[in-house]
Amino acid sequence: MGGTGAGVGPHMKVIINPTARGGTTARQWPLIYELLRRHGIPFDHVFTERTGHAIELAKEATEAGYEVVVAVGGDGTVNEVVNGIVDEYGRGKATLGIICTGTGRDCIRSLDIPNDIGKACKLLSDRNCTNVDIGCSEYMNDGAKNRRYYINTAALGFAASVAERTNHLKKVGKTIPYLLAFGSVFAVYKAKNMAFDIDGLTRQDRLLLITINNGRYFGGGMKIAPGADTRDGFLDIITVQDVNKLRLLYNFPKLYRGTHVSHPKVGIYKAKCINVQTPQRTLLQLDGEVVGEAPASFSIVPSALKVISGGLHG
């Protein structure tokens, strides 16, 4: 299950999700292991065995006194590790490191962490840390209220339905799951009636989606919240009203450039907290993983977590 790398000094605990990116992470691990050793990083490692296991392993690592816990996998793996290393108030008990081997890679875009495995390992040896905010979400799952933290983005509505379909396609080995999922959901999805309270300002609208962002990206590189900053103490909320599907397709490329925010059907807000109510079943995704459904509330935990990062971008 585990092993120890070369070197002396404070240890890192490296948590690997071998099934990330259709099993590619398991095949990449021997290279990552050697790169970490080459940089003289002392570490122990362990593999996840099921969904949610990284939360348990990260909790065990912090309780054992590891100063740094490294997630090796996709955005979902990072989310689980985050939830394992924070306390009940969302404050980090260890520093987060990331070697991203997943498909979406939106967390590392928002946190300025290299996509290249070699550069990501070098970054861990440099130990340059940035204090970042994290989001807190309370939502429903199987009739019970749950709380979970996220480092990058949350979304209700269309984006969550696409995430659910994407994750299903990943399990059956599709190589371009997001675009396939987008197409299949797009064909049948209908906007939902939503009421939302943003720092005391109440609104009602018929929305295709609402995203509550700490970072800028979601959906595998879409710059959904171009003004978001992981260190500003605010959530960036983007709403997309019901819009003609042909018009939506025409404007789809703007999501990757971040220029969609000028569209009259798009709303932009900055807030400390938001509550969302809807009479219809509406899924919620956090960092690309579907965790439950509305009603849901979101708040920001400022400077909650230290992350080994390449810079200070949002």
At 222, which CATH number?
2.60.200.40
C-alpha distance from residue 282 to each of 162, 190, 191, 193 (Å): 12, 11, 10, 10
Do 147 and 294 lie in one domain? The reply is: yes
Do 148 and 282 lie in one domain? The reply is: yes
Last residue of a domain, one of 127, 155, 171: 127
Scan for tokens 């807030």, then name that residue: 271
Residue 10 has pLDDT above 70, yes or no: no
User: pLDDT tens digits for 75-123?
Assistant: 999 999 999 999 999 999 999 999 999 988 999 999 999 999 999 999 9
Q: What is the pLDDT of residue 190?
A: 93
Do 78 and 152 lie in one domain? The reply is: no
Which CATH number characterizes residue 28's domain? Answer: 3.40.50.10330
Q: From CA 160, how far away is CA 155, in angstroms rounded? A: 6
CB atoms within 10 A of CB 39: 17
Q: What is the pLDDT of residue 171?
A: 60
* Cβ 33 vs Cβ 2: under 8 Å: no
Residue 248 has pLDDT above 90, yes or no: no
CB atoms within 10 A of CB 29: 18
Q: From CA 13, how far away is CA 54, in angstroms rounded? A: 11
Among the ranges given (78-92, 160-174, 207-221), the one the predictor scored with the smallest mean pLDDT: 160-174
Do 36 and 113 lie in one domain? The reply is: yes
Question: Is residue 304 helix, strand or coil?
Answer: strand
Strands (E), 151-288: 153-157, 192-198, 201-213, 235-241, 266-271, 273-277, 283-286
22: Cα within 13 Å, side-chain hemisphere: 12
Domain residues for 71?
A: 12-127
Among the ranges given (125-129, 138-142, 172-176), the one the predictor scored with the smallest mean pLDDT: 172-176
Q: What is the pLDDT of residue 7?
A: 36
Residue 4 has pLDDT above 50, yes or no: no
Which ranges of the chain would DSSP assign to H, the alpha helix?
24-38, 53-63, 75-85, 106-111, 117-126, 158-171, 177-186, 245-251, 254-257
Enumerate the β-bridge partners of residue 240: 209, 266
Q: What is the pLDDT of residue 72?
A: 98
User: pLDDT tens digits for 21-34?
Assistant: 889 999 999 999 99
Q: What is the pLDDT of residue 311?
A: 64
| 314 occurs within a structural domain | no
Q: What is the pLDDT of residue 8?
A: 34
| 3 occurs within a structural domain | no
Taking residues 184-203, what's their average pLDDT? 92
Q: What is the pLDDT of residue 9?
A: 41
Q: What is the pLDDT of residue 299?
A: 98
Averaged pLDDT of the chain? 91
Do 123 and 152 lie in one domain? The reply is: no
| 1 occurs within a structural domain | no
Q: What is the pLDDT of residue 148?
A: 98
Do 140 and 281 lie in one domain? The reply is: yes
Do 142 and 105 lie in one domain? The reply is: no
| CB-count burial class (<10 Å; 0-12, 13-18, 19+) for 219 | buried
Q: What is the pLDDT of residue 79?
A: 98
Rounded percentage of the chain residues whose pLDDT exceeds 90:
80
The two structure tokens encoding residue 202: 């109440």
Chain centre to alpha carbon of residue 75: 5
| 121 occurs within a structural domain | yes
Give the pLDDT band of residue 262 (cuts 50, 70, 90).
very high
Do 97 and 149 lie in one domain? The reply is: no
Chain centre to alpha carbon of residue 174: 21
User: pLDDT tens digits for 135-155?
Assistant: 999 999 999 999 999 999 999
Do 111 and 139 lie in one domain? The reply is: no
Last residue of a domain, one of 127, 147, 170: 127
Do 172 and 24 lie in one domain? The reply is: no
Query: Domains in the chain: how many in total?
Result: 2
C-alpha distance from residue 298 to each of 149, 239, 284, 295, 303 (Å): 9, 15, 11, 10, 16
Q: Which helix (H) or strand (E) holds 72?
A: strand 68-73
Say what the pTM is. Answer: 0.92
Residue 314 has pLDDT above 70, yes or no: no
Q: What is the pLDDT of residue 307?
A: 98
Do 200 and 95 lie in one domain? The reply is: no
| 206 occurs within a structural domain | yes
| 291 occurs within a structural domain | yes
| 255 occurs within a structural domain | yes
Last residue of a domain, one of 77, 101, 127: 127
Residue 296 has pLDDT above 60, yes or no: yes
Chain centre to alpha carbon of residue 98: 12
| 263 occurs within a structural domain | yes
Do 166 and 260 lie in one domain? The reply is: yes
